[in-house]
Amino acid sequence: MNHLTIQEQTIIRQIQAETKKKNVDNISRTEAYLSYFKKNPDIIWAFLASMVSRNGGWNMCDLQGSIFPQLITDMTRKQLFLTYERANWLIFNDVYPQLLVYQYSTKMNRQMFHLLPYFHVSAFIQKEWYRYWKENDKNRLTTCLIINEQNVIQTPVIDHPVYKKKIFKSKLFSFQDWLHFSCVLFPTCGGEVYGASVNGFKSLSKRINLGKRLANILFHPRLFPYFFEFAEKTPHTGSRYDYEQYFKIKSGQKTPILRATFPIIEHNQHKFEDWSLRRRVPPSWMYFPVDNRQPIHLTDWYFSKSNQLQLILALQKTLQLKKWN
């Protein structure tokens, strides 16, 4: 750090402090991404991150809602929460300094990406920020941020022995994968829901492909204004009531709000390893077109999934089956 100017050293400290302050829980992260996008609308990934982060909060709160506590053991629900939270935290910890370095660059009218190594970000994404500054290709940058962040969580979360054994190999996870319950939803204030479902969450390529599909849906010229209106108008609480309040028919599921349900988790910073030195980026991640064959309007699908869950709960009670772990 010695060869940096006083101003650069100050910027690094400010970015570190700002990242720590905003990376407290799912609510603060979701708000930070949205507020960043409003100030820097060319970084469209930030709006995608905010909307995906909302979904993370809803998934967390489902664990304490009206259905899952009756289906899944306390221990497994706690592990699931910690898995969501760890992935959420790691992504924010990695990406928010990048976003702030870019913001400083635009403010000062000169690129400051030589500061990125001080935040331990991958060589892959450092190159892409330089490229974006020159070429201003928003879609390429969005794809590269999706690739980077999914790689950031692969080793410490998806391949982590504890999460692998307790979560990704559990009956519950296979069941969610099979039924496509893990779905990223983009609601509107008109009570409609769009989005895409994930099966094969453990697969890095499938998650990257999902990210690209979600970006296509979110920034669809006709739909984007509705999603943005929802985000602006609806504070994120973690409860599915955030968007179910706009439905014509009430779904009947109850989910609590995040800050009344979960404690703040203190995370340890794992040892940083640059994923891009160990994994090459195949052309399919960068260039293959997104598969747009699946329907994206999911309002009816959402209601049928809610009914399926009620049905599973009824069967579990009737047959007096054990809770899943």
302-324 pLDDT, tens digit per residue, is 877 776 666 666 665 666 665 55
Q: Is the pLDDT of residue 119 over 90?
A: yes
Instruction: Tell me the pTM.
Output: 0.91
Residue 229 resides in a domain: yes
Residue 142 resides in a domain: yes
Q: Is the pLDDT of residue 169 over 60?
A: yes
Residue 1 resides in a domain: no
Average pLDDT over residues 235-254: 88
Higher-confidence residue of 67 and 223: namely 223
Q: Is the pLDDT of residue 178 over 60?
A: no
Most confident range (mean pLDDT) of 25-34, 204-213, 284-293 is: 25-34
The pLDDT assigned to 35 comes to 98
The pLDDT assigned to 180 comes to 46
Contact assessment for residue 81 and residue 262, using Cβ atoms and an 8 Å cutoff: yes
Nearest partner of 61 among 253, 191, 228, 234, judged by Cα: 253
Contact assessment for residue 303 and residue 249, using Cβ atoms and an 8 Å cutoff: yes
Residues constituting the chain: 325
Residue 290 resides in a domain: yes
Q: What is the mean pLDDT of the chain?
A: 88
CA distance 131 to 123: 13
Q: Which domain holds residue 268?
A: 6-318
Quick one: CA torsion of 76, 82, 87, 93, rounded to 10 degrees? 180
Residue 325 resides in a domain: no
Domain count, the chain: 1
Average pLDDT over residues 171-187: 66
The pLDDT assigned to 157 comes to 85
Residue 323 resides in a domain: no
Residue 324 resides in a domain: no
The pLDDT assigned to 194 comes to 96
Q: Is the pLDDT of residue 177 over 60?
A: no
Q: What percent of the chain has pLDDT over 70?
A: 85
Q: Give residues with Cβ within 8 angstroms of 239, minimum separation 6.
A: 58, 61, 255, 256, 257, 258
Residue 210 resides in a domain: yes
Most confident range (mean pLDDT) of 58-67, 116-125, 174-183 is: 116-125
